[in-house]
């Protein structure tokens, strides 16, 4: 069965005074308005949200139906920072069952009110043992970066270039949190968070929502002339703790999910025209490029230095600005990635448009790689 994505919605990422329910509802309403679909035709709503610790709200399914004024099946799906991908996966399964014709998937997080202890809340996506030893996520990704530097000769300058590229891309994304150009020196001179990662290697604290409408091809053909197909989506969880991985320079769940997604789609990494990767920290973008198979292990730095991951390069990565510059409202991130790829495949990405993009890929990662969701989209 062909699953189509025929509508997207994306709030301006940053900070908002709205409640989390209002924020999610506004994003859904905009989605339905833009797609000319009545909420009555939507069979089910999936909500991706990482943690109630940010908003003290543990019943989003009913909060959202309350805000939308509907009586409907509504479900929250969570897999840490890969919640968006996991919610999309559930929606795709539901459409495959034939029990639903149209489904709304909305991702939302409102973090700014808890910016003081956000790193602590985010650490709940790691293992208790790691937290007990004081290792929060910047520390975990710093360990991965140090290992990558040691094993492959990747440098602080190489990873800084990821931040520079993603900030540059975000300049032409009206929904990005940051519209600010930065240089490699800005990154290198920014405050050390967990060596070798500096402030500008890290994704920010963000409020935001993103939504997509998934449907059968029949419904999609009625609503739009430019449907995008969710060709494959694979979700894998393995080890929560870094200590249980054979290497720190790779995320096995990403490798496995990518293998499965390529297997189902009959495509290869070389077929991908544009990718949104999970650059929660700059080093993550390199590791994912290698794990997905855009290059050999250790070779991502070469692609970055050659400009291959720029919008006009061989394999453009994070044209939206990525988590780094678009922002990272955790539960919304996996959906925001899909929104960007859909807009790229439809040719709606304006100044950041990747020319002739036909095949796109999203990689949404939970925690330090304990969960990964890889999606392949095509037009």
**Residue 312: Cβ within 10 Å count:** 9
**Judged by CB under 8 A, how many residues of this single chain contact its own copies?**
59
157, burial (CB in 10 Å: exposed 0-12, middle 13-18, buried 19+) = middle
Contact residue for its own copies among 371, 376, 377, 378 (CB under 8 A): 371
24 binds its own copies (CB under 8 A): no
244 binds its own copies (CB under 8 A): yes
Handedness of CA 215, 218, 222, 225 (dihedral sign): positive
Helix 252-265 to helix 282-292 angle (10° resolution) is 50
What is the rounded CA–CA span in Å between residue 346 and residue 189? 39
Contact residue for its own copies among 17, 33, 115, 128 (CB under 8 A): 128
DSSP string, 274-294: EEE---SBHHHHHHHHHHHTS
8 Å CB contact between 84 and 333:
yes
Catalytic (active site) residue 81: yes
Catalytic (active site) residue 27: no
CA distances from 80 to 83, 237, 330 (A): 6, 11, 8
56 binds its own copies (CB under 8 A): yes
Minimum separation from the CB atom of position 375 to its own copies (A) = 14
Minimum separation from the CB atom of position 3 to its own copies (A) = 11
Contact residue for its own copies among 187, 197, 240, 315 (CB under 8 A): 240
315 binds its own copies (CB under 8 A): no
Local structure of 14: helix, strand or coil: strand
What is the rounded CA–CA span in Å between residue 131 and residue 325? 27
Contact residue for its own copies among 125, 193, 209, 304 (CB under 8 A): 125
8 Å CB contact between 81 and 367:
yes
Contact residue for its own copies among 9, 35, 74, 364 (CB under 8 A): 74
Cα 119 to the center of its chain, rounded Å: 18
351 binds its own copies (CB under 8 A): no
Phi/psi for 10 (5° steps) reads: -155, 115
Cα 106 to the center of its chain, rounded Å: 13
Q: What is the DSSP letter of 202?
A: B
Residue 311 or residue 372: which is nearer to its own copies going by CB?
A: 372
108 binds its own copies (CB under 8 A): no
8 Å CB contact between 374 and 292:
yes
317 binds its own copies (CB under 8 A): no
Contact residue for its own copies among 38, 40, 71, 116 (CB under 8 A): 71
Contact residue for its own copies among 18, 39, 41, 72 (CB under 8 A): 72
Residue 94 or residue 274: which is nearer to its own copies going by CB?
A: 94
366 binds its own copies (CB under 8 A): yes
Minimum separation from the CB atom of position 49 to its own copies (A) = 9
Catalytic residue among 167, 328, 362, 363: 328
367 binds its own copies (CB under 8 A): yes
What is the rounded CA–CA span in Å between residue 277 and residue 320? 10
Catalytic residue among 4, 28, 55, 81: 81
Active-site amino acid positions? 81, 328
Q: Which residues bind its own copies (CB under 8 A)?
A: 19, 50-53, 56-66, 70-80, 86, 89-90, 93-94, 96-99, 121, 124-128, 131, 234-241, 244, 252-253, 256, 366-367, 370-371
């Amino acid at each position: 069965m062909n699953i189509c994505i025929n509508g997207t919605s994306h709030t301006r990422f940053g900070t908002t005074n709205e409640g989390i329910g209002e924020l999610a509802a506004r994003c859904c309403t905009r989605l339905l308005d833009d797609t000319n679909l009545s909420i009555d035709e939507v069979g089910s709503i999936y909500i991706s949200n990482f943690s109630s610790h940010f908003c003290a709200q543990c019943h989003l399914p009913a909060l959202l139906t309350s805000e939308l004024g509907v009586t409907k099946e509504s479900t929250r799906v969570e897999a840490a920072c890969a919640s968006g991908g996991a919610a999309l996966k559930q929606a795709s399964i539901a459409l495959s069952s034939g029990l639903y014709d149209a489904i709304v998937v909305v991702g939302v997080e409102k973090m700014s009110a808890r910016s003081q202890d956000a790193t602590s809340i985010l650490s709940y996506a790691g293992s208790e043992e790691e937290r007990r030893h004081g290792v929060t996520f910047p520390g975990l990704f710093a360990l991965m970066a140090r290992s990558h530097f040691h094993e492959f000769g990747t440098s602080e300058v190489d990873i800084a270039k990821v931040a520079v590229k993603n900030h540059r891309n975000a300049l032409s994304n009206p929904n990005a949190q940051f519209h600010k150009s930065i240089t490699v020196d800005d990154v290198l001179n920014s405050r050390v968070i967990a060596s070798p990662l500096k402030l500008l290697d890290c994704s920010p604290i963000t409020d935001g929502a993103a939504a997509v409408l998934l449907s059968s091809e029949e419904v999609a053909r009625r609503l739009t002339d430019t449907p995008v197909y969710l060709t494959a989506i694979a979700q894998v969880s393995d080890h929560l703790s870094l200590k249980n991985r054979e290497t720190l320079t790779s995320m096995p769940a990403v490798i496995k999910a990518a293998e499965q997604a390529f297997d189902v789609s009959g495509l290869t990494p070389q077929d991908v025209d544009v990718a949104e990767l999970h650059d929660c920290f700059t080093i993550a973008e390199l590791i994912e490029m290698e794990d997905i198979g855009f290059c050999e292990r250790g070779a991502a730095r070469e692609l970055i230095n050659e400009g291959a991951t720029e919008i006009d390069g061989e394999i453009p990565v994070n044209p939206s600005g990525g988590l780094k510059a678009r922002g990272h409202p955790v539960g919304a991130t996996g959906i925001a990635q899909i929104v960007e790829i859909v807009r790229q495949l439809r040719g709606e990405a304006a100044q950041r448009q990747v020319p002739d993009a036909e095949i796109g890929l999203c990689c949404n990662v939970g925690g330090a790689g304990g969960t990964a969701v890889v999606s392949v989209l095509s037009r």
